[in-house]
Structure 1
Amino acid sequence: MAVGRDASLSSDESDDDLGLSGNVTRSTKSVRVRHGSGQFSTQAELFEAWRKDELFQTFLSEDFDIDTFMSVINLHNVSRLADRLNAAVRTIDAHIHAEVAANHEDLLRQSVQIDAVETDAKDLLNESSALQSEFQAIHASIMQPFEKIKRLVNKLNATQENAEVLRCVLRFVQLVSKAKSALHSNEPGSLAEASRNALILSEIIELANASDLHTIDCLSADYLWVQQQTDAIRAQTESALKAALLCGNQVDIGAALQCAFNLNQLAVIVSNVVDGTRSDFENLVKTMLDVSTLLSPTTSKADSEQTGARLRSLVWQHLESVFDGLLEAVTNISTLQTVLGKKTDSQTRQTLQQIVMNNRHSDAVSPKSRRTLLLEFFQGVVDVLEGELQAFCNRSTLLSGVIESEFPRLFDLSESAWERGLARILPASCRADLFRAIARYQSTFVSKLVAKMQSPLSIMFPSSVTSSSPVPTSADIATMFSAIVDSMAAVEGRQDLHRPILKGAAGTIFLCASKCEELLGQEVDNSPMLWTAPTYDRLASIFTILGSLDHNLMAVIAGIHPRCRSVQRELASTLLGPPRRSLRSIGQRIVQPLFNMTLSSLESAIAPDSAQIVDAVKAELERLRTALLKIASKPFHLKGYLKPFTGNIETFLMLRFAASMSTVMHATKDTLFARVLAELPQLEAAITQFLTCADSKRGTSDPSKRAPVKLAQFRSMIANQASVSWMPPTNDQRMAIPKFALASIALAGNTGTNTICDLICWSSSELFRWLLSHDESEHVRLLREHVLDQITASESQVFDFVSQLVSDES
């Protein structure tokens, strides 16, 4: 309670008298009052009130500094402040005393326990020190003999190493002595003797390198002698291997390889020989293609006229030597690879070729992806040939022109090298690699030939072609095709060059065809009734050009052209077929108006019941023949155009006869059949005679090829049915039905003639079933649109069947 009173008394004073900054708030005063009156029931409430009191906040702050506090406090308020602080200290002391009294037993028990723990810790520390001392004593007693053993072991290892070195030295001295006795002279002996000595020398070198004996001064002289002898045997082996390759003797090659293997330098010697062979070939190419040698000045003016021919001859002689050298080099390496593949290592069971290739390639390259020694060499010499040829042509335009202008000779040299030996020792795919070296000159040669083919076009046609431009003459076309044939003849017998030349020829023909189509203009699409004499002349000139080109192309494709007999027919048909079809399409555009006019005239002149069919057909065909001969100066140019047209004529005539037979009364049916059977042979003869207008003067074609097939089939069917009631056609006769039945429907749709009803009445219901069995759904649509309205009520059987057919289809 004393503490409470002191706090209450001190709280009545103003805080400004204490020298503290700021005024005391109401909340702070209320805290002091509660503190002084003893209203705090717990320690927590008291401490919370002190933390909110501005006076105690100064002392409770973590950054409280006594010097700073003393510097700001007023001296005349120190006693009051001390009273308050003393009161607070007494309060804290009272609370501590109360807490200690309340927890006296627990605190006493903890104090006793702490005492016991301190005692145990001291005992443990003393025991640990004793244990460490004993461990150090034991370690010292153990390590002393161990260190002694270690020193003795190191001495023993050194002794063993010295003994091993001495054994190696002894073996080295013995082998050197043996080698010196074997190599009693400085002159190399036979290859077999060198092979035996190589075994000794390789063992000496392997022993010296493994034990570093070459670092011993007393052995350095012997080691140097061994190296010298090894180099001598290696040089002897390389020379022997090269000589054996030149001779092609596989026994000598095998002996040289065995010596290299015994010397443990197989991969090095083989690589040196292969690289040397390629280097020799490269030197040969450089020598043969030396521009300064080829272009050396002549000594006599009289020879100046023959300089060009002699230069060309010299160039090709040198190129022939180059390809002979290439064939020889590749053949030698092939022989080397063959022998390498036959000999094996007795220990590893690997062939010598595998050993060589493993040394030439890193481990990162899988064995399957590695190329063989021969393929690597071949690729290398081809690259050398390609590079030297390019450098040769770059150094001299004159010599480059010699090769490019006579490229087939270069092609023949490559082909000859391949056929003479390379094809037997290399895969077929390597042929493309060989010809890759000369591909640049092939492209230039082909480009020149194509330019030569197309050069007449610039003379034949102006730069801008119109329908009024002059038409080239037959001589111009002959000149252009002669250029094409000359280009083909230039590569006669060279199958690889046929394709690019034929492509160039096809492009030339396409270009000529497009120019001819531009010459036609739109006048050709007019009715022939409007064509004037100049129009006929112009169309005749264009048609002659097209016919001449088509005839010549056909000769090339068929392999009967005298200058293009070696061209493959399949290749020629593939490449020259499209331009030939382009020519024929333009020719068809010229003659088609005449064909259309003839069909229209026949349709208007011949009624279904007309009795003048034969005369009308003969008159129209003769008129057409006259018009066609105005256009075709050479009748055989019309071949291929007339047969499809006469097929349409046959279909038209069958439709007309079908219309007559379907509408005739039964009483006069036999008379009509007899008349039709009498007229059909006359029509066949008229059509056959018309087709003769395409015969050449050299002779007529086979008459059987001109016979109208459709009319003959039609006549055969009518003859079988003439004396009996109309019956469905037989299986054999059905084979001929689609050939004109489908065409007649198409013709009816195009020209507007309603003859499908006649065809139905003639064919009967069996034909419908046959058509439906072949999924001719288009016929049902045509029946629905064009037939039902044309059938009369008297034809009830056909009407009922067609109605049922259409309803089923719907």
Structure 2
Amino acid sequence: MAPASLQRSGSSLSRSPSIGSPSMLQRHYRDRSSSIRYDREGGLMPNGLHNEAEAAARVAFEEFSKDSVFSKFLSEDFNATLFASDALKNGSATASSEKLEEGIKLLEKQLRSEVFLRQDDLLQQLSSLKDTEGTLTVVRAGVESLQTLVQRVRSEIADPYKQIKLKSRQLSSLHETIELIRSVIRTLKQMKRLRELMDSGGIKADLSKAAQLFSEVETLRKESDLSGIEIIDSEVPWLTEAGNRIRAEAMKGLEKGMESLNQAEVGTALQVYYNMGELKSTVEQIFSKYKSQVSKCIAAALDMKAISASVGASLGPGGIQRSGTPQLGGGSRAREGLWQRMGVCMDQLHSIIVAVWHLQRVLFKKRDPISHVVFLDEVVQNDDPMLTERVWEALVKSFASQMKSALTASSFVKETFVLSYPKLLAMVTGLLERIIRDTDVKGVLPAIKVEDGDHLIAALEPFQTAYLAQVLNRLSELVHAMFPVAIRGSIPSQEQISKLIVRIQEEIETVKQNGRLTLYVVREIGKILQLLAEKSEYQVSTGPDSRQVGGPATSLQIKNFTLCLYLQEVHQKVTSILSSYPQAAAEVLSPSLGAIYGVAVDTVTPIFKAMIEKLESSTLQLHDQDFGSDEMAYDIESKSSKYLEEVQRAIMHFRSEFLSKLLPTSQSAYASGAGESICARLARKMASRVLFFFVRHAALVRPLSEIGKLQLARDMAELELVVGQHLFPVEQLGSPYRALRAFRPFIFLETSQIANSPLLQELPISVIFHHLYSRAPEELESPMKRLKLTPLQYSLWLDSQGDEQVWKGVKATLDDYAARVRARGDKEFSPIYPLMIQLGSSLVEAGQQQKL
């Protein structure tokens, strides 16, 4: 019995809100404390009673807190079931039950004490509840009276409101009926006017008015919702037929105006569609039609099956091949058919673009006479592309797609377009030029811009690449044939060179109508010329045998001569071909032509250098001859100097054995249509060097007697003659020839005449000063003697120095001379000294001004 009673006690505690939960006890204590404070503040109880109640509550709470059993009930997470289970497990159920009964009694005692202590407060609260119930009774009666009054007012107002609402609905219906009748009357009136206009045949005369009437009728029908009205519905079939008739007439006028490019007819048709509210949709419809035509005409032009079928009747048995490639014997006819279709396609594309441009042009100019709205603004929004831009984009896209398909689908089309790519490109560029030309109208945007044409030409790039590859292959085959691998050391023949030049000219002539393609072809030709230069360079013979000039020309030298002439011919002919083309073509080919020219020069330059060295060596023997002695008188009338005879023999030998093979005739020796030839240029440089070298060393002769002057003058005349007859016309040599001609009379001038002589302007500064040393005393040493150099060493030094350096060397010798004279105490100098000082500063300054 004890366990059962304990369980019942535990469950009763758990269900009781005042005892079963420790949190309730805590809240009870807190509430009690607050109520006590409230009572103290309100003055409801004496302070003694308050203190007594508070002390009793505190004692009870402390007893519960200190007790090991009751303290568990103060926990926030107290569990009655767990408490009962623990009591049963410990075997102290009876003791626990008694303990709990004791606690219950304590709590009941405390509750009775609380009720007793707060008796006055509870009685006062009970009195307040009775007063409140009386007040509520009064309020309830007032509310019921107010509700009765509201119901009476509502019944008095509701009936007028219903009447007003009904009358308002009737008035609104009346207004709607009147407006509907007005719309019907107006619609019937406009419909009648439209019928009269169409029955009288005035639709063709004033189509825009008919469109306006039709639009007004349709607007009234839609805005007023006249559907369901019998008189209107009966006219709808006729109205639909009238609208179709108006559209048909407008479309006829629009198509006619588009074909004839008549702005008035197109503008009238567009006004009709604008009045009908169908302008944008109609323009879109027309644009779609032209866009479809673009695709169809390009596809038809490249349809090889149709082309083969058109020429199949004459191809004999076998008909048309499955792939659309013409049978044997029909290729030429099929090719003609392909080009004919391409020409028709270009014309159609031109007509389409111009028609769309014409439509756009009229839309741009046309305004509605009533609203003044520009028609183009109705069709094209701010960010939308123009009609011509859209149709051109569609054309380029379709053309590129069809060309790409033709390249892979039909070998016949590919072969035809690659072999005759210039013709295909000419068709496309012709189309672009026609469109730009025909749409170039002041104040109107053109159909396409120049850069737009590049997009269309880009579609031909695969064919262009293949064509350029064929050009390169055709020319490279000719170059490879000139230098067969099996025959080592061979050089081209004249026939092969001529064939290559002719082929280059043909390739350029084929594409000359298109500047861009010409540059591409010229670039491929440049590759061929580079290849020719490389292969020719491998064939150039080098070594001592190729540089000898003492004996007859060797076989290696003749081979070099021939190769030089061939390369020179290629250079001259190609340069001449490019002379009639834009400068850009010559600039593209310039590096390749430079390579050809460089190899050609390298083949013969060693011979000319060797010959110049030989002639300079012979000329240097001039210093071994005594020109200061008067014992030379017996030689003057009989012969030239020994050194000059050697120079003459060397020049004549070079002419007969070498130069004659490089310059076959006097007419072609010095120039050609493309400019001075390589060998002529080298011969000119050789002649100039011989004359200049002779004058330089003739000026170094010291001493120089009168007889020596005569001999030197005779030598100069002989040198001029042999150089002019066997090397180069001396009259064309310029300053070296003028120096030679001026030095001959210069040596015979009196010293007093030199300062004012015009011959000074024709002679180099070094020649003037060096000759003046021959007129000076021995103690005025020349720079060559002062530096203790040989004539050859001094000549090499002069080649690397300018006039200022020469004057410094001369000035140093003059200063040494002046120092010696002053050291001896002499007061007079040689007349040459002041003359050289005077000439030095003036000639150097004049030379600097000429350079500027």
Superposition TM-score, scaled by structure 2 size: 0.63
CA separation of 1:295/1:82 partners in 2, compared to 1, >3 Å: closer, same or farther? same
Structure 2 distance, partners of 1:227, 1:210, is: 17
Structure 2 distance, partners of 1:397, 1:355, is: 48
Structure 2 distance, partners of 1:709, 1:402, is: 61
One-letter amino acid matched to 2:739? A
SS of 1:63's equivalent in the other structure is coil
- Identify which of 552, 558, 581 aligns with 1:537: 558
1:71 to 2:88 alignment: yes
CA separation of 1:279/1:166 partners in 2, compared to 1, >3 Å: closer, same or farther? same
Structure 2 distance, partners of 1:712, 1:166, is: 119
Which residues in structure 2 correspond to 1:213-232 (within 5 Å)? Answer: 213-214=226-227, 219-232=232-245
- Identify which of 351, 355, 366 aligns with 2:383: 366
Q: Which runs of 5+ in 1 are unaligned?
A: 1-42, 98-103, 359-364, 560-566, 693-701, 742-747, 768-787, 803-810
Structure 2 distance, partners of 1:579, 1:345, is: 65
- Identify which of 286, 289, 298 aligns with 1:273: 286
Structure 1 distance, partners of 2:558, 2:397, is: 60
Deviations 1:190-209 (A, max 9, x none): 53333221111111222223
Does the CA contact (< 8 Å) of 1:710 and 1:739 recur in 2?
A: no
Which residues in structure 2 correspond to 1:75-114 (within 5 Å)? Answer: 75=92
Aligned to 2:353: 330
Structure 1 distance, partners of 2:711, 2:143, is: 145
1:345 to 2:368 alignment: yes
Structure 1 distance, partners of 2:359, 2:269, is: 11
Most deviating of 677-686 and 513-522 = 677-686
Deviations 1:596-631 (A, max 9, x none): 434544565555982677666656655655675387
SS of 1:213's equivalent in the other structure is coil
- Identify which of 479, 482, 494 aligns with 1:460: 482
Aligned to 2:576: 555
How far apart are 1:509 and its partner, in Å?
Answer: 0.9
1:477 to 2:497 alignment: yes
How far apart are 1:456 and its partner, in Å?
Answer: 1.2
Structure 2 distance, partners of 1:111, 1:386, is: 104
- Identify which of 744, 754, 763 aligns with 2:807: 763
Most deviating of 514-523 and 281-290 = 281-290
Does the CA contact (< 8 Å) of 2:367 and 2:374 recur in 1?
A: yes
Structure 1 distance, partners of 2:177, 2:427, is: 68
Q: Which runs of 5+ in 2 are unaligned?
A: 1-56, 318-326, 440-445, 626-642, 670-676, 770-790, 821-832, 834-839, 842-852
Structure 1 distance, partners of 2:87, 2:660, is: 140
1:173 to 2:194 alignment: no
CA separation of 1:314/1:69 partners in 2, compared to 1, >3 Å: closer, same or farther? closer
- Identify which of 751, 759, 765 aligns with 1:723: 751
Deviations 1:542-568 (A, max 9, x none): 323312211212221333xxxxxxx33
How far apart are 1:510 and its partner, in Å?
Answer: 1.1
Aligned to 2:390: 376
How far apart are 1:342 and its partner, in Å?
Answer: 2.7
Structure 2 distance, partners of 1:704, 1:300, is: 75
CA separation of 1:657/1:469 partners in 2, compared to 1, >3 Å: closer, same or farther? same
Aligned to 1:291: 307
Most deviating of 69-78 and 143-152 = 143-152
Structure 1 distance, partners of 2:752, 2:725, is: 33
1:449 to 2:466 alignment: no
Structure 1 distance, partners of 2:507, 2:244, is: 59
How far apart are 1:168 and its partner, in Å?
Answer: 3.0
CA separation of 1:210/1:268 partners in 2, compared to 1, >3 Å: closer, same or farther? same
One-letter amino acid matched to 2:340? Q
1:583 to 2:583 alignment: no
Which residues in structure 2 correspond to 1:31-46 (within 5 Å)? Answer: none
CA separation of 1:192/1:395 partners in 2, compared to 1, >3 Å: closer, same or farther? farther
How far apart are 1:632 and its partner, in Å?
Answer: 3.3
Does the CA contact (< 8 Å) of 1:202 and 1:263 recur in 2?
A: yes
- Identify which of 491, 508, 531 aligns with 1:511: 531
SS of 1:346's equivalent in the other structure is coil
CA separation of 1:228/1:729 partners in 2, compared to 1, >3 Å: closer, same or farther? farther
Does the CA contact (< 8 Å) of 1:688 and 1:708 recur in 2?
A: no
Query: Highest CA radius of gyration, 1 or 2?
Result: 2
Which residues in structure 2 correspond to 1:30-429 (within 5 Å)? Answer: 61=75, 62-63=77-78, 65=80, 66-68=83-85, 70-71=87-88, 75=92, 160-161=175-176, 163-184=178-199, 190-214=203-227, 219-280=232-293, 283=296, 290-298=306-314, 307-358=330-381, 366=383, 370-371=385-386, 373-381=387-395, 383-385=397-399, 387-388=401-402, 396-419=410-433, 422-425=436-439, 426=446, 427-429=449-451
1:491 to 2:511 alignment: yes
Structure 2 distance, partners of 1:571, 1:440, is: 24
Structure 1 distance, partners of 2:594, 2:71, is: 113
How big is the alpha-carbon RMSD for the aligned residues of Structure 1 and Structure 2?
6.1
Aligned to 2:662: 632
How far apart are 1:381 and its partner, in Å?
Answer: 4.2
Deviations 1:241-274 (A, max 9, x none): 1123323333333322222222222223333334
Structure 2 distance, partners of 1:679, 1:182, is: 116
Structure 2 distance, partners of 1:406, 1:762, is: 66
Aligned to 1:771: none
One-letter amino acid matched to 2:807? S
Structure 2 distance, partners of 1:579, 1:53, is: 119
Aligned to 2:633: none
Structure 2 distance, partners of 1:183, 1:117, is: 98
Structure 2 distance, partners of 1:670, 1:348, is: 111
Does the CA contact (< 8 Å) of 1:548 and 1:637 recur in 2?
A: no
CA separation of 1:507/1:761 partners in 2, compared to 1, >3 Å: closer, same or farther? closer
Structure 2 distance, partners of 1:608, 1:52, is: 146
SS of 2:623's equivalent in the other structure is coil
Structure 2 distance, partners of 1:473, 1:607, is: 42
Deviations 1:411-447 (A, max 9, x none): 4444554555642314433444554555544443343
Deviations 1:465-493 (A, max 9, x none): 9xx44222222222222221221232344
CA separation of 1:322/1:73 partners in 2, compared to 1, >3 Å: closer, same or farther? closer
Most deviating of 120-129 and 271-280 = 120-129
One-letter amino acid matched to 2:751? S
How far apart are 1:353 and its partner, in Å?
Answer: 2.8
CA separation of 1:763/1:180 partners in 2, compared to 1, >3 Å: closer, same or farther? same
Structure 2 distance, partners of 1:123, 1:655, is: 152
CA separation of 1:676/1:529 partners in 2, compared to 1, >3 Å: closer, same or farther? closer
Deviations 1:379-407 (A, max 9, x none): 44455555556656666433553444334
Deviations 1:645-701 (A, max 9, x none): 66666775676567x38xx6xx86999999888876766666555653xxxxxxxxx
Structure 1 distance, partners of 2:135, 2:726, is: 137
One-letter amino acid matched to 2:208? S
CA separation of 1:75/1:168 partners in 2, compared to 1, >3 Å: closer, same or farther? same
Structure 2 distance, partners of 1:470, 1:190, is: 89
How far apart are 1:238 and its partner, in Å?
Answer: 0.7
CA separation of 1:548/1:180 partners in 2, compared to 1, >3 Å: closer, same or farther? same
Aligned to 1:597: 610
Does the CA contact (< 8 Å) of 1:453 and 1:487 recur in 2?
A: no
Structure 2 distance, partners of 1:241, 1:511, is: 62
